[in-house]
Structure 1
Amino acid sequence: MAVTLWCALCSCLLLCAYSMVPNPQNARITSINLRSILQWDAPRLHKGNITYTVQYKSINLPGNTYENVGTNLTLTECDVSSLSAYGNYVLKVRAESENDHSDWVTITFKPMDDTNIGPPDVKVKSESGSLHVDFIGPFAELDNWPLKKYYGSWNYRILYWKKDSSTEVTHIDTDHNSEILSQLEPWTIYCVQVQAVIPELNKTGELSEVLCEQTTHNGVTPVWIIVTVLIGSMLAIVISVPLCFFSFLYLYRLAKHVLCPSYIFPEHLKEFLSKPPSSSQDFSALPQEEHLFYDKLTVVSEESKNQNDETGDETSKTTEHLQHSEQEDSDLRIVPASEEA
C-alpha cells in the first residue's frame, strides 16, 4: 500500500515538473428516462483553473470522427441527451489548463440500454371486492413522450401482497395500462407496486411507490341487505301509493274548480240560446217611435184632517176644484201629434 502511494506521488511530481495536466477521474454516465449526463471527477494535485472538453463519435458509422459536445466546461459534467436514443457512441473527456491538456478519458454509451427506466404513475381504487389499478408512463425527459414508444416490447408488472404478509408477493404482467386484481379477500388491505418490463433487453424499470387499499365485500350481496332493501321498498310503496292518490285527487279537484267552475246557468238564457237564430228580421215592420204631447197636469194632495176649522171653507172650495179637475181629466184625451196636425 505504501509503495502504491509512493508511486502515485512520484507520478504527480513528474507531471507537475513537466507542467502536464492530470486526467479526469471516474468518468461515468447517469441516465434516467433517456436524460443522460456524462460526469467525472476533477484531477487531483493540480493548481490553477481547469476547463474540460467533451467529444463523441458514433460506433455504428465506421470512419466517423469525433465531434464536440461541450467545450470550456467549468463543471464536471456534460448533458449528452441530445444524442439519438437509438445510437451507440464513444464519449471522451479531457482536462485543459492554459496551453496544456490531459489525455482523453473514454467511455462507451448506448442510450436505450444504459438509461434507467423510472417508475410509472399508479392509481389504485377499491370496488366490488377487487382492486382497479391504472398506470401510465414513465415519459422521456427530453420530449415528454412515453418511453413505451421507444422500445419494441413493453410490459407492466404488477406486484401485490397483503399488508400484514409482505413475503407472499403475487405478480401479473400485462401490456395494457390498467388491470383488475380479483379473487381477493374481502375487507383486507392489499399493497401494490408497478414497474416497467422490457423483455427484449431483459430490462426492468424502477418500482413505483407502495400504494395500499382495503377491499370491500366480494361482490356477493349479503341476505340481510337484500331483505332490508325489499322491506324498505315495500314500505315506500305502501306510503307513496295513497299519498300519490290523494295528491292527484286534490289537484284534479283544484283544476276542475279553476277551469270548470260550478254555477247554475239561468233557465231563460238556456231557453233563449237553445232557439235557433232567425235568418232575417224585418225591422221596417216595427212601429216608429211616436211623439206624444200632453197637457199640463196639476196634482193636489188631500189636506190633513187635523187642520183647523177656520180653513173649512177653503177646503170645501179646494174639494170642489178637485172634483171639477177630475171631471176635466176624465174628458181629457191624449192626442198624438199626427192627429193634432
Structure 2
Amino acid sequence: MAVALQCALCSCLLLCVSGIVPNPQNVRIISVNFHSVLQWDAPRFDEGNISYTVQSESINFPGYKYKTVSTKLRLTECDVSSLSAYGDYILQVRAESENNHSDWVTVRFKPMDDTIVGPPDVKVKSESGSLHVDFVGPFAEHEHGKWPLKQYYGSWNYRILYWKEGSDTEVTHIDTKHNSEILSQLEPWTIYCIQVQAVIPEWNKTGQLSRELCEQTTHNGVTPVWIIVAILIGSMLVVVISVPVCFFSFLYLYRLTKHVFCPSYIFPQHLKEFLSKPPSSSQFFPALPQEENLFYDTLTVISEESQNHSDETGDEASKTTEHLQDSEQEDCDSGMVPASEKA
C-alpha cells in the first residue's frame, strides 16, 4: 500500500516536472430537447493557465477525420447543439497548456437516443364538471427558430396523469395523440392534480413530467333538486309580489292620465260657443231687423152688411186697403210692429 502510494506520488512529480498536462475528468454529455453541451471536470494542474480543445467525428461516415468544434476554451464545457440530431458522433476533448497537452478523452454521442425529452406546456380549465387539458411541445430551439420534438420522432403520444389532491397513490393515466383531452366522470367540487409527459414508443423514450397543476371541478351539469325547488319558490314569490304592484301602478297611472286629459268638469256649451266667436260689438248689442228681411201680407176686412153692396163700396175698400198699407209702412219705418204681426 505504501509502495503504491509512493509510486503514484512519484508519477505525479514526474508529470509536473516534465510538463505533461493531465487529462480532463468525468467527460459527459448533457442534452435536453437537442440542446447539447459537452462537459468535463478540470484536472489538477498548477504549472500555468490551461485551455481545452473539442473535436467531433461522425460514425456514419467511416474515415471521416475529426473536425474541431471549439478550441482554446477556458470553461469546462462546449455547446455541440449544431451537430445533426440524426447523427452518431465521437466527441473528444483534451487539456492544453502552452506547448503541452493531455491525451484525448472520448465519449460517444447519439442525439436521438441521448437527448432528454423535456416536459410540455400544460393548461387546465374547469368547466361543467370536467377538466379541459391542453398541452403543447416540448420544442427544440435553434438559431433560426424552434421546432416541436414531435417532428423528429416517428411516433408521439402524450400521457396525462391525474389524481385527487392528497391521494397520490390512486393515479389514473390516459394516452392520447392529440394536443388536448377532456377528463370527464370526475367528482364535482373536487380538486384534481394533473401532470403530462411525452411518450415515444418506437424509441422507448419517456419525457419529463410537466409541473403539477391542481384545479377544482364544478358541478357536473345535473342541477340538485333543492336548487330547482328554491328557484321555483323564488319565482312564485316574485310573481305574487309583482302582480299587485303592477296592478296598482297601472291603476294610478290610468287615473292620473284620465284626470289630465279627461277632467270631470264640463265647460258650459253656451260659453264655449261665445268664446269660439271672434270678439265684436254685435255680441253685446242685438242687431236691428233689416228692411229686406221683413215680409208683409195684405189684410182685407169685409163686413157682412156690406156684402150686398160690394160693388158700391169697392172703391172705399180699395182706399181703406191702401191706407192700411201706408200706415203699416210708416210703422215699420218708425220701428213699431204692424197690427197684422200682433194678430
Please identify, of 139-148 and 56-65, the stretch whose mean Cα deviation from structure 2 is larger. Answer: 139-148
Shift of 1:116: 1.2
Q: Which residue of 1 aligns with 2:328?
A: none
Change (3 A) 1:102 1:240: same
Q: Distance in 2 between matches of 1:149 and 1:248?
A: 73
Provide the residue aligned with 1:65 in structure 2.
65
**Contact 1:92–1:104 under 8 Å retained in 2:** yes
Q: Distance in 2 between matches of 1:76 and 1:236?
A: 79
Counterpart of 1:164, as a letter, is G
Distance, in Å, in 2 between the alignment partners of 1:233 and 1:42 is: 81
- Superposed displacement of residue 196, structure 1: 1.2
Give TM-score, length-normalised by structure 2.
0.67
Residue by residue over 1:213-264, the C-alpha shift from the partner in whole angstroms, topping out at 9 and shown as x without a partner, is 222233211112223334445566677789999999999xxxxxxxxxxxxx
Alpha-carbon distance in structure 2 between the residues aligned to 1:120 and 1:2: 56
Structure 2 counterpart of 1:39, which letter? Q
2:217 corresponds to which residue? Answer: 215
Following TM superposition, by how much is the alpha carbon of 1:189 offset from its aligned partner in structure 2, in angstroms?
1.8
Contact 1:123 1:135 survives alignment (8 Å): yes
Residue 132 of structure 2 is aligned to residue 147 of structure 1: no
Counterpart mapping for 1:114-193 below 5 A: 114-142=114-142, 143-193=145-195
What is the TM-score normalised by the length of structure 1?
0.68
- Is this contact kept in 1: 2:134–2:180, CA < 8 A? yes
1:94 paired with 2:94, answer yes
Gaps of 5+ in 1: 252-265, 268-341
1:89-112 deviations in Å (ceiling 9; x for gaps): 111111111111111111111111
Answer yes or no: is the 8 Å Cα contact 2:51–2:96 preserved in 1.
yes
Q: CA deviation at 1:5?
A: 4.3
Determine the structure 2 residue equivalent to 1:109: 109
Match in the other structure for 1:320: none
Kept after mapping to 2: 8 A contact 1:21/1:46: no
Q: Give the CA deviation at 1:25.
A: 1.0
**Do the aligned partners of 1:22 and 1:46 also contact (CA within 8 Å) in 2?**
no
Counterpart secondary structure, 1:152: coil
Query: Relative to 1, partners in 2 of residues 1:32 and 1:183: Cα closer, same or farther, differing over 3 Å?
Result: same
Q: Give me the whole-angstrom Cα distance separating, in 1, the residues matched to 2:229 and 2:157.
A: 46
| Mapped partners of 2:220, 2:83: distance in 1 | 52
Whole-angstrom CA distance in 2 between matches of 1:140 and 1:151: 12
- The answer for the alignment partner of 1:277 in structure 2 is none
Q: Does the aligned pair in 2 maintain the 1:120–1:195 contact within 8 Å?
A: yes
What is the CA–CA distance in structure 2 between the aligned matches of 1:17 and 1:49, rounded to whole Å? Answer: 16
Q: What SS does the aligned partner of 2:13 have?
A: helix
1:195 pairs with 2:197: yes
Distance between the aligned counterparts of 1:140 and 1:60, measured in 2? Answer: 23
Structure 2 residue matching 1:15: 3-state secondary structure:
helix
The aligned runs of 1:320-331 (5 Å cut-off) are none
Which whole-Å CA distance do the structure 1 matches of 2:212 and 2:46 have between them?
Answer: 47
- Identity fraction in percent: 79
- Equivalent residues, number: 270
Q: For structure 2, which runs of at least 5 residues remain unmatched after alignment?
A: 254-271, 274-343
**What is the distance in 1 between the residues matched to 2:61 and 2:251?**
93
* Higher alpha-carbon Rg: 2
Counting only pairs closer than 5 Å after superposition, residues 1-341 of structure 1 correspond to structure 2 as: 5-142=5-142, 143-233=145-235
Comparing 35-44 and 209-218, the one that deviates more: 209-218
Q: Once the 2 structures are TM-superposed, how far is the Cα of residue 182 of structure 1 from its aligned partner?
A: 1.6
Contact 2:27–2:41 (Cα < 8 Å) also in 1: yes
Matched-pair contact (CA < 8 Å) for 2:120–2:138: yes
Q: Spell out, residue by residue over 1:119-163, the C-alpha distance to the aligned partner (whole angstroms, 9 max, x if none).
A: 111122222222222211111132322211221111111111122
Distance 2:2 2:139 in 1: 50
